[in-house]
Amino acid sequence: MTAPLDVSGSATEAHPESVLAGAGKAIQGRSLTRIAWMRLKRDKIALAGGIVVALLILVAIFSSPIISVFGSPPLEFHQDQIDPNTLLPKGFFGGVSGEHLLGVEPVNGRDIFSRIVAGSGISLLIGFLATILSVLIGTTLGVVAGYFGGWVDQVIGRLMDVFLAFPLLVFAIALAGVIPDKAFGLEGNGLRVAMLIFIIGFFSWPSIGRIVRGQTLSLREREFVDAARSLGARHGYILFREVLPNLLAPILVYATLLIPTNILFEAALSFLGVGVNPPTPTWGGMLSEAVRFYTLPHFVLFPGLAIFVTVLAFNLFGDGLRDAFDPRTH
């Protein structure tokens, strides 16, 4: 058996000078948002996606001045740029020049750059507003189903199954064919955009609703929720003050991932001819017109590239947000 160590009293006592030296230093805690931002800054790919998303939003907001400086009106014809014999653009790669940065369309000579910039506003508007509608419906029903459980959860769960099994594309095509010229105080493309937002947003909520329901099932068993119940808090207080604030991070992440899906769906509807009425420029509508001129690569390349870059940027940024708020998913 070894003898106990002989420790002098000076080694076991704290020096008053060292205690006083650290007394003035405040200990700063880190919030979940700050920790997530620190993780996100280390993800260069996600940051690049976020920068591209920010640039796309700025392009959509300031599309009119951008077109006036770098292009020409998106509905303006340039017959002088079209060969009258072949009806194809003159010059290199579809008429690419200083006046027409991405060339012109066959037959009519409309500026492709201007039409892509103008179409970004419609695609992002429908994508964002449809996502907001989906988040509102999905969050409300998901929180109610996860918190109350029982028959309420069963009913909402079966409703989610019905919506997930619904043939949305077929329904959208059928509904677009019977939309009147004027309804609900709207007409023309305004009515079309509103109907697209409603169709895409109303039938896309189950995906985020299931995520919110699962998170709520976990949160309702946490200690702070039990403490609020024991203090006599009502259901409304617990939902809005205890549960929903802890759902903001996953809702933000999955809403970011839902936006590109809605943009793709809008492009698909426009490609099939049931989106915004021509000649209003949309990326899907430009691809639909380009099918007839498959021998002209620039006519298909640029609108397709716009869709590809937008969807990729949102997905990269959304994945980065998900990893930042919950590194266990990485």
DSSP secondary structure letters along 21-36: HTTT-------HHHHH
In a domain, 18, yes or no: no
Q: How far apart are CA 124 and CA 292, in angstroms?
A: 26
Q: Under a CB-based contact definition with an 8 Å cutoff, are residues 117 and 186 in contact? A: no
Q: How far apart are CA 138 and CA 132, in angstroms?
A: 10
| 3-state secondary structure at position 193 | helix
Q: Which two tokens stand for residue 89?
A: 């653009």
Q: Under a CB-based contact definition with an 8 Å cutoff, are residues 84 and 271 in contact? A: no
Q: Which two tokens stand for residue 97?
A: 């020049």
In a domain, 282, yes or no: yes
List the CATH number of the domain containing 178.
Answer: 1.10.3720.10
Q: How far apart are CA 290 and CA 310, in angstroms?
A: 20
Q: How far is CA 218 from the centre of its chain?
A: 25
Q: Under a CB-based contact definition with an 8 Å cutoff, are residues 114 and 102 in contact? A: no
What total of structural domains would you count in the chain?
Answer: 1
End-to-end alpha carbon distance in the chain: 50
Q: How far apart are CA 192 and CA 197, in angstroms?
A: 9
Q: How far apart are CA 230 and CA 227, in angstroms?
A: 5
Select from 284, 283, 289 the least CA-distant residue to 269: 284
How many alpha carbons lie under 13 Å from residue 41 in its C-beta half-sphere?
A: 6
In a domain, 19, yes or no: no
Backbone dihedral angles phi then psi of residue 202, each to the nearest 5 degrees: -70, -30
In a domain, 232, yes or no: yes
In a domain, 20, yes or no: no
Q: Under a CB-based contact definition with an 8 Å cutoff, are residues 309 and 52 in contact? A: yes
In a domain, 12, yes or no: no
Select from 236, 245, 239, 251 the least CA-distant residue to 134: 251
Angle, CA 253 vertex, CA 248 and CA 254 arms, to 5°: 105
In a domain, 2, yes or no: no
CA distances from 274 to 11, 268, 284 (A): 82, 9, 10
**Torsion angle of C-alpha atoms 281, 282, 287, 288, degrees rounded to 10:** -80
Give residue 70's pLDDT: 87
The domain containing residue 260 runs over which residues?
32-325
Global pTM?
A: 0.82
Q: How far apart are CA 116 and CA 308, in angstroms?
A: 13
Give residue 252's pLDDT: 86
Give residue 136's pLDDT: 94
Give residue 3's pLDDT: 52
Q: Which two tokens stand for residue 7?
A: 């420790």
Q: How far apart are CA 315 and CA 142, in angstroms?
A: 23
In a domain, 5, yes or no: no
Q: How far apart are CA 326 and CA 330, in angstroms?
A: 8
Give residue 54's pLDDT: 94
What pLDDT tens digit does each residue of the chain (330 aa) get? 455 545 454 444 555 554 445 545 454 556 667 777 787 788 888 889 999 999 999 999 999 999 988 888 888 888 887 777 877 788 777 777 878 778 888 888 888 899 999 999 899 999 999 999 999 999 999 999 988 888 998 999 999 998 888 887 888 778 777 777 777 777 777 888 888 898 888 888 898 999 999 889 888 888 888 888 888 888 888 888 888 888 888 888 888 889 998 998 888 888 887 888 888 888 888 888 888 777 777 788 888 899 999 999 999 888 888 877 765 555
Select from 52, 21, 41, 251 the least CA-distant residue to 135: 251
